[in-house]
Amino acid sequence: MKKQLFICIKLLLASLSLNAQFLAATEVVSGVPLTSKSSGQTDNTPYLHNETFNGSVKFANQKSSENLALLYDLNADVPLAVDKQGRFLKFNELPIEFSYSIPGKGTYTYKRDFPAIDKFAERDFYEVLIVGKIQLLKKTRKSFTESIPYGSATLVKKAVYADFYYLFDGKTMTRIKKDTKSLAEKLKEPNLSHYYKENKNKFATEEDLMIAIVEEHNKMN
């Protein structure tokens, strides 16, 4: 009996601890499963992905929470947690960092408190593609276009994604194009142009090559 009581108390404390970390958002999707879609598919949500991924968040007081089902709301620029009942939950305190893992793709890490630049503020999150003396950051925005296809009376809403890339040297943010050749030139490292020529066909995407170039630059400095 004492053992059962101890277990009940332990479960209650764990539940209270979890609930204390979150504040229920206005939008609640109770009992309705999230639609599993990749980020590249058309959808009508503000989320980067329509499915949750296991992740963790860190706060300014050095505390962290792990093993959370996370969504990234691009419009509000905040991570959300989704509980087992399907409720969308937001954190009482805005995290300084969050990350999640996508099976077969790897871990994605987002941080904030970078200098304000363009239309982005210090509290906005960036995906950190490379850490080091020079960091390569990526900011993704999501908007929607509406159209009525020829011969149809139905309005079609389509998601459009835009990526912005920045270099951060610890003090200054510099916007760069998604262009590996100009990136190599902007880093002002003569050997990088040679590295670009030697490796430009070895990577699946332009972004992968950008990551490799910044990584190579950090090794040289």
Residue 182 pLDDT:
78
> Quick check: helix, strand or coil at residue 209?
helix
pLDDT at 139: 98
Q: What is the pLDDT of residue 39?
A: 38
pLDDT of residue 120: 96
SS3 content of the chain, % helix, strand, coil (to 5): 25, 40, 40
Burial-class residue 173 by CB neighbours within 10 Å (0-12, 13-18, 19+): middle
The burial of 32, by beta-carbon neighbours within 10 Å (0-12 exposed, 13-18 middle, 19 or more buried), is given as exposed
The span from the CA of 154 to the CA of 1, in Å, is: 63
78: number of Cβ within 10 Å: 19
pLDDT at 31: 30
Q: Give pLDDT, residue 56.
A: 95
Extract the residue ranges of the chain whose pLDDT is less than 70.
1-43
- Confidence at residue 203, expressed as pLDDT on a 0 to 100 scale: 87
- Please tell me the predicted confidence (pLDDT) of residue 4: 54
Tell me, what DSSP letter sits at residue 104? T
At 191 the pLDDT is 77
pLDDT digits (tens, 9 = 90+) for 90-115: 888 899 999 999 999 999 999 999 99
Distance CA 98, CA 152 (A): 42
Report the pLDDT value the prediction gives residue 119, as an integer from 0 to 100. Answer: 93
183 and 213 Cβ atoms separated by less than 8 Å: yes
